[in-house]
Structure 1
Amino acid sequence: MRPFIVFLLLFFLPGFLVAQKNKMTRQNLLTKLKVDLPDSDRVCILTSIVKSYAEDEHLRNANDSAEQYLKVAISLNDKRRNLKNTNQINILAAMLSLSKNSDQDVTALFYPIIYQCRQTGDYASELAAITVLCGKLPVNSQNLSYHVTNYRRAIYLSVLLEDKAAETSMNYHIADVYQKQNQLDSAIRYLFRITADRGSPHRNMLAAYDMLSGIYTTKGFYNKALHYGFATVNDLKGREDSTNFFLNICGRLRFIYANLEKYTESNTWGLKAYDYAYRNNNREYLPMIRGTIVSNLINAGKPQDALKFVLTHNVKDKSYGINELLLWHRQLGDCYLALKNHKAAEENYLMLVRIMAGKPKELSPWDRTVYHYVLGKFYLSTGRPATAKNYLETALAGFKEHQFKQFIKDNYLLLSKADSATGDYKSALINLHRSNKLKDSLFSEQKNKQIEELQLGFETEQKTKVIQALRDSANLERLTLRHTRLGRDAITVGLAFLIIIAGLLYRHSTAVSSASKKISEKNEELNALVNEKEWLLKEVHHRVKNNLHTVISLLESQAQYLKDDALRAIETSQHRIFAMSLLHQKLYLSDDVKTIDIREYIGDLIINLEESFGTSGKIVFEVDVAPVTLNLTYAIPLGLIINEAVTNSIKHAFSATIRGRIRIILKRSVESIRVEMSDNGSGLPDVSHDTRSRTLGIELMKGLSEDINASIRFEASSGTRILLEFEPTLK
């Protein structure tokens, strides 16, 4: 079950049709060139021809022809220097250069063009350049923020240009970027923009439904996943499915119903998928679909039928790949296990291990995770808990990496049973607690979603009633006005007076309409300026964050040549700079560029310190932070104070024999914020606010507390305890 397969099919299967369309377009354009046309029109035709070559994946060897046409276009454009044509030519030249040498820096190639388009106000060309850049740049954790920034700019330009198709496409692409990085809530937010607009192109709407169904399946919200899955199926009715959307959504629906233990419904969609794949010669899908059918038959108490179904689909011939062979042995093992033929089951399960060991590079991390889970479950069910635990621990690491809560919950439960069987009752209780906690979390999330849906339905109903009441009131007013006019028409004496009033009202209405139009135009201009300002402010925070990371890297390089006190000073400085860099990163990634979510920030800061000092298993961090937002004036000093306190505790508070505990508590009252930082270490000497300390760290905490008008107190009882209290004000 590979969730990215629909995305690949969506963009690459129609390639042949696109190539044929480009070929016909080129022929028509070449015919037009034979007619005597103005130079500006000839430049447009030539750039369109070059574009058709650049976009045609089947004509990469035709670059020489494209370059010749481009040279002619450049020569003609140089006579009049049409700005828009110049920008389009630059984009095409970059695309051709990249097709000849794919090792070039894509960002360095396109960013000057984007900057030039932005400076000259050519928003259409800027949108085209950003689209090409994002399409060529791979999506990974290093350039995620760069992709997001570019796509947000592209969405803004699409709205500005009133290009609905481009706006919808950019929303889909940014959602896809977030999904690939497991930022599912952000992906959902952008997909909702597509589904909420009924004017979105059909293919984009279909892709949005399909991705939403996949995301909600991953999150374990099966009701939502079914809703968008059926929306995809309904949208496909009566349409040609050139990208196998139907096959993918059938597979997802059978998976969801299987997890809901509705095996009849699961098999219904499984057989539909199997029939579709067989009719369309999609052999690579058949083993996966067969697996769900087999599982459903076993769960329905029909293991013999399941075994017969598997044996009729022998995949040992050379036409099948390693993944199909693994699935076949896994399904045989499941059948034999259900039939209590443990020897035959183990033979097939161990074949999974041998195949994975022989073909390490041909399997995805997800497949390895699932097969280790299967082996662990088998050995646990056959009374070999020690062997089972080894496989289950490997599987748990994989499930955590993919953030699949349902499997993580089940894995913890199996580990608890394995620990209990081996006599490790402490670990058994811990794993059972973790499984129950995830179970409660999944249940709470589902209930919260149901409550949100009910609340939304209630609010919609209330709004409908209000609208209907307003309509009734408007109808009543219209009737009253009609009777009034009839009465006035009967009074001929007031006719002249009514004409004068009507003229004055018309004049006033015209003036109001004109003023409203001007106000609307000004508001649009102001909104555009505000959006541009926010974008620039985010860019500033991004650059500040990058510069601070550069300083950290320089300090790290310098540290290689230092030791003792100098080395420790450099490392301490790195932590202080990271605390400030993290703030700018949070502001850059946040929709609100003015304030920081302190709870999230302190959590990330503590994680960084824990990883930097390697305290995992030695020091326990207890963080209890209320949901508070602060601006930079307070957030930077507060972050540095916490950084200093935690760093001092890690370095000096604990001996090698003591299991340390560091506690960070932040509470907010009506007027002030109170922060408590404590440890159970050896404690500090008398460092009260009135006594001058000899350490730079404590002096720094005192100075920073004065910057925000905070009171700070140091206590040394059963460890060190630092109390900080201040009253934040709006600035």
Structure 2
Amino acid sequence: MKFKLLILALSLCVATKTFAQQIYPMLTPIELKHTRLKLAQTSSNIERTQLLLKLSYHYIIKGGEYNSDLDSASFFLNRAQKLSKKFNLVRDQIHGTMLFGLLRNEKGEYDKFREILYEVISEADSRKLFHEKGEALYFLGCFDRTNELEQYKRALSCFQSSKSLKEEAYVHFSISKLYTRTSNGNKELSLQSAIKSLALYKKTKGTDLQYLYHHISNVSGSLNNWPDRVGYLLLAIDEVKRTGNSTQIGRYYSDLGGTYQGLKQHSDALKYLLLAQNRFEAQGDQNYIYYNANMICNVFSTLNQKNKAIEFYKSVIKKFPPTTSEHSIRIASHLATYYTQMKRFDLAEPYVKEMLGMEAKIGRKNFATILSYSVAVNFYLAVKDLAKAEFYLNEVSKNNATNPTSYISWTYLNHFRLDSARGNFLSAIQYYQKYKLLNDSVLNEGKLKQIAELQIQYETKKKEADLLIKDKNIFALNERTLFLDQEAKNRQTLLDKALLQSQKSDLLRKNKDAELAIRLKNIKLLKQQSELQKSQLNQAYLTRTIVICFSVLLITLLALLFRQFRLKQSANQIIAQKNDRLQSLVTEKNWLLKEVHHRVKNNLQTVISLLESQAFYLKDDAYKAMQNCQHRIYVMSLIHQKLYQSDEVKSILMPLYISEFVSYLSESLEVRQNISFQQDIDEIELNINQAVPLALIINEAVTNSIKYAFPNRQFGIIHLSLKRIADQIFLCISDNGIGITNSNLNQNTDTLGLKLMKGLCQDLNADIKIDNTNGTSIMINFEIIIPYQIELLDAV
């Protein structure tokens, strides 16, 4: 008995997820193709707008939330909105806005979804469009669960006002599902709403009621109304046969078989479970394959065919090996149950441990976990391990607030077995009384008879319907035979009359044919002569026309070619003159620039000479300052010298320039003997706007290293590196001298050299970094300005 209750509970719990339609279903592949074809063919703007909205809704509610589907929905929706605004289609505009809200919801923009839906509700309300307002309220309830029931009730009122029966029925259906879904839901109210939905749907035509029948059967089962559960499942199966929509018939067969199994009607249970198994295996749905196979094995076990049960289950596993941890847990629990029933505890124990180990590993806490714990309870009670049995039984009992009645009854029965095994007879009797009370409410003789009568009625109606169809077919065939016989007689009479008339007509036709033949010969000869003359005239006219046209075209073409040749020749002469003039101007400009650079260089050399004359009369700091000025002016003088000596007057080749400049510094400061200069300079060409600041920075850095890095004229090395990486220039000047002290490095210094370097770095938009590790290193990086960019800027 304990296994029957488990089976009944499992059948109901697995069936609680009803596969229901949307308020407006997604298009089938055939409907989608037809809608697209109709959209391409229609010329009506109203129909076109509605078809676009229909396609948009289809892609919005399509499962998976793929970007391609959302893009398609957005495409059709934008086109629909343009048409509805252009032709002032108010209802379609409101529908389109609502679909934009649903699209935002699919993209995860929930706040925007609610904002748009409230706008639609307000707009529809102001225009008294109750149907559209009801749709918006329904969708708001579907996706904003905070006030779901309230929104459904408001939508219901709107659909009642607009007399939208299908939508009103579906909202009742949704309210019913809401009552069953919530933890504190009212199952009686759920059943009432479902019955109202059914009554409304029956007033409409063409509605597929199988999902609603299935839902009502689940609610009836949760209320222990097993006759209604069986009856509505049979109605769902009839509806499948009526509509041809058989995607869920395996579910209905399985639920019906599970219900019969719990009610001890094993032959009916096995019949429907085998039908379900064939369906699930054809669909490849492993969850239902294992679940349904387990119920079939339980029927075999009840019929004392336990070996057959295990053979059947292993054959299913062989055909459909597990692919997930959940599948492996389910298989282990089922095999553990079979071997426990056979009292083969040595074979059952490995499966129990495997099942509990995987449950602990994945850490799930749901109804499937409760089923695993139930298997463990049965096993540990059977092997007298009462402590473990009590532990897992308590884990199962924790969920009695939400467990089905039949499952609660199973926990009471096992508490009775546990307390009996421990000698707690008073507690055991109390649990047994609870078990009997619940069990009697689940299964009683009256309900079983009612269910049996329903099954008999179903089978009888089915046979009567089959006989009626056969009688109608026989009658129709007889009528068809009589009609065909009469039609054959009528046709024969007509054929006889037509034959006589044909013979008379043949005689007349032969005489006329002879006369016509002579006339036709004469006419034919005349026509041939006429056509020959006409053909000759046409040929002559065509030949003359072709010659004239060809001559005109040839003359025109030659004239055009000659004109084009003269135009091109004239244009080439003008271009050549302009190019010569431009080249002359460029050459003249370059010479002028070189002359300017030469004069600037001479002027700077004059300034240096004047500074040298003045420095002759100076001493100490003043002399050093004057010397620094000479070096800085020499930096610029050398740049102008390089510019007028090179062919390119706007850029400097840095390796030659730096080498000559460093040589000048080492000679002027008389450090060639005790300081070595190492240069690592890439072949970099800089425009004058960047070369001058960079040269001044190098001058300041090298001069400081020569003066301060090597006191007492000790030997040292100064390393200069100039590298280009992509569009970035990296300059590094380092020495192995005494380095800048941390105090000077960390505080703001007022020395002219550092100020000058920082100012020049700002001119270059460069970053500067000074490091005193193993001497002093100055690192600068900036973005190169390519010389031709400077030319473009100058031209602008």
Specify the TM-score bucket, using the shorter chain as the normaliser.
0.5 to 0.7
Letter in 1 for 2:178: V
Q: d(CA) in 2 for partners of 1:13 and 1:340?
A: 54
Aligned partners of 1:415 and 1:431 also within 8 Å: yes
Query: Structure 2 vs 1, CA of residues 152 and 449 (structure 1 numbering), >3 Å: closer, same or farther?
Result: farther
Structure 2 unmatched ranges of 5 or more:
1-10, 454-796
- In the TM superposition, what whole-angstrom CA distance separates every residue of 1:41-94 from its partner, at most 9, and x where no partner exists? 8866765665565455662123553464256347526xx6x6535433432332
* Contact persistence 1:118–1:126 (CA under 8 A): yes
1:259 aligns with 2:265: no
CA distance, structure 1, for counterparts of residue 21 and residue 59 of structure 2: 21
- Whether contact under 8 Å (2:306, 2:338) holds in the other structure is yes
What is the aligned partner in structure 2 of residue 344 from structure 1?
Answer: 347
The CA deviation at 1:315 is 5.4
Spell out, residue by residue over 1:484-540, the C-alpha distance to the aligned partner (whole angstroms, 9 max, x if none). Answer: xxxxxxxxxxxxxxxxxxxxxxxxxxxxxxxxxxxxxxxxxxxxxxxxxxxxxxxxx
Q: Is the 8 A contact 1:107 1:133 kept in 2?
A: yes
2:104 and 2:110 in contact (8 A); partners too: no
| CA contact 2:273–2:296 (8 Å) conserved in 1 | yes
Change (3 A) 1:49 1:443: closer
Distance 1:10 1:83, change over 3 A: closer
Q: How far apart, CA to CA, are the structure 2 residues paired with 1:4 and 1:339?
A: 29
CA–CA separation in structure 2 for the residues paired with 1:328 and 1:53: 38
The answer as to whether partners of 1:416 and 1:428 remain within 8 angstroms in 2 is yes
The gaps in structure 1 that reach 5 residues or longer are 454-731
Query: Deviations 1:594-648 (Å, cap 9, x if unpaired)?
Result: xxxxxxxxxxxxxxxxxxxxxxxxxxxxxxxxxxxxxxxxxxxxxxxxxxxxxxx
8 Å Cα contact 2:155-2:171 kept in structure 1: yes
1-side partners of 2:273 and 2:288: how far apart? 11
Contact 2:23 2:167 in 1 (8 A): no
Indicate which of 221, 227, 234 corresponds to 1:223: 227
Q: Secondary structure at the match of 1:400?
A: coil
Matched, 1:115 2:122: yes
Counterpart position of 1:422:
422
Q: Report % sequence identity.
A: 16
- For 1:343 and 1:163, the matched residues in 2 are separated by 64
Residue from 72, 81, 93 that aligns with 1:62:
72
Aligned residue for 1:159? 160
Partner of 1:601: none
Equivalent residue number for residue 134 of structure 2:
127
Query: Which residue in 1 is equivalent to 2:473?
Result: none
Q: Is 2:410 the partner of 1:410?
A: yes
Q: Secondary structure at the match of 2:268?
A: helix
Partners of 1:120 and 1:96 in 2: CA distance:
24
1:72 aligns with 2:82: yes
Shift of 1:343: 1.3
Query: Given the alignment of the two structures, is residue 208 of structure 1 paired with residue 212 of structure 2, yes or no?
Result: yes
Task: Specify the SS of the correspondent of 2:229.
Answer: helix
Say which of 270, 274, 292 aligns to 1:289.
292
Specify the SS of the correspondent of 2:244. Answer: coil
Mapping of residues 139-154 of structure 1, within 5 Å: 143=146, 146-154=147-155
- Structure of higher CA gyration radius: 2
Distance in 1, matches of 2:356 and 2:178, equals 34
C-alpha separation between the residues in 1 aligned to 2:309 and 2:52? 62
1:416 partner amino acid:
F
Determine if contact 2:176/2:190 at 8 Å carries over to the other structure: yes
RMSD of aligned residue pairs (Cα, Å): 3.7
Aligned residues of 2:57 and 2:99 also touching (Cα < 8 A): yes
Distance 1:9 1:374, change over 3 A: same
- Match status 1:175 vs 2:186: no
Which deviations, in whole Å up to 9, do the C-alpha atoms of 1:138-185 show, x marking residues without a partner?
5xxxx3xx2222222323322322222212222212111112124321
Letter in structure 2 aligned against 1:240: G
Take 1:375 and 1:88, find their aligned partners in 2: how far apart are those partners? 55
Show the counterpart of 1:368: 369
In structure 2, the residue matched to 1:188 is: 191
Distance 1:135 1:303 in 2: 47
CA distance in 2, matches of 1:122, 1:24: 29
Determine the C-alpha separation between the residues in 2 that align with 1:67 and 1:396: 52
Task: Tell whether the 8 Å contact from 1:214 to 1:252 is kept in structure 2 after alignment.
Answer: no
Deviation at 1:294, TM superposition (A): 0.9
Per-residue deviation, 1:344: 0.9
Number of residue equivalences: 434
Tell me if structure 2 keeps the 8 A contact 1:399–1:408.
yes
Contact 1:376 1:389 in 2 (8 A): yes
What displacement does 1:282 show?
3.4
1:311 equivalent to 2:314? Answer: yes
Matched, 1:84 2:91: yes
- AA partner of residue 79 (structure 2): Y
1:278 pairs with 278, 281, 284, which one? 281
Q: How does 1:516-665 map to 2 (within 5 A)?
A: none
From the superposition, tell whether residues 64 and 297 of structure 1 become closer, same or farther in structure 2 (CA, over 3 Å): closer
The residue aligned with 2:387 is 386
Instruction: Give the Cα separation in 1 of the matches to 2:51 and 2:188.
Output: 44
Cα gap change, 1:117 to 1:415, in 2 (>3 Å): same
- Alignment check: 8 A CA contact 1:315 1:324 kept: no
Does the CA-based 8 Å contact 1:131-1:154 persist in structure 2?
yes
2-structure distance, mates of 1:135, 1:302: 48
Amino acid at match of 1:291: N
Structure 1 residue 393, shift from structure 2 partner: 1.0
Match of 2:18 among 4, 7, 12: 7
SS across alignment from 2:18 = helix
CA–CA separation in structure 2 for the residues paired with 1:162 and 1:332: 55
Instruction: Determine the structure 1 residue equivalent to 2:590.
Output: none
Q: TM-score, normalised on structure 2?
A: 0.49
Per the alignment, in what secondary structure is the counterpart of residue 203 of structure 2?
coil
Cα displacement (A) at 1:311 = 2.5
Asked if 2 retains the 8 angstrom alpha-carbon contact of 1:50 and 1:69, the reply is no
Counterpart AA for 1:173: S
Q: Residues of 1 paired with 2:49 and 2:315: CA distance?
A: 63
Q: Residues 177 and 190 of structure 2 are in contact (CA less than 8 Å); yes or no, is this contact kept in structure 1?
A: yes
Identify if the C-alpha distance between structure 1 residues 214 and 41 changes in structure 2 by more than 3 Å, giving closer, same or farther: closer
Identify the residue that residue 431 of structure 2 maps to in structure 1. Answer: 431
Change (3 A) 1:175 1:328: same
Task: Kindly provide the CA deviation profile for residues 654-709 of structure 1, in whole angstroms up to 9, marking residues without a partner as x.
Answer: xxxxxxxxxxxxxxxxxxxxxxxxxxxxxxxxxxxxxxxxxxxxxxxxxxxxxxxx
Query: Aligned in 2, Cα 1:5/1:383: closer, same or farther, shift over 3 Å?
Result: closer
**1: CA distance between counterparts of 2:311 and 2:445?**
40
The change in CA–CA distance for 1:269 and 1:32 in structure 2 (over 3 A counts) is: closer
User: Are the structure 2 counterparts of residues 330 and 203 from structure 1 closer, same or farther at C-alpha, using a change threshold of 3 Å?
Assistant: farther
Asked whether the equivalents of residues 13 and 243 of structure 1 are also in contact (C-alpha less than 8 Å), the reply is: no
Secondary structure at the aligned position of 2:350 is classed as helix
Partner of 2:552: none
Identify the residue that residue 692 of structure 2 maps to in structure 1.
none
Q: Does the residue aligned with 2:316 lie in a helix, a strand or coil?
A: coil
C-alpha displacement at 1:210, in angstroms?
A: 0.8
8 A contact 1:106–1:136 mirrored in 2: no
Distance 1:401 1:263 in 2: 28
Query: Larger relative contact order (C-alpha < 8 A, sep ≥ 6)?
Result: 2
Distance 2:23 2:133 in 1: 25
Contact 1:365 1:398 (8 Å CA) reproduced = no
Q: What does the per-residue CA deviation read over 1:193-238, in whole Å, with 9 as the maximum and x for residues that have no partner? A: 2333533455452222111111222332222211111122222225
Give the letter aligned to residue 131 of structure 2.
Answer: A
State the partner residue of 2:240. Answer: 236
Aligned AA for 1:229?
A: L
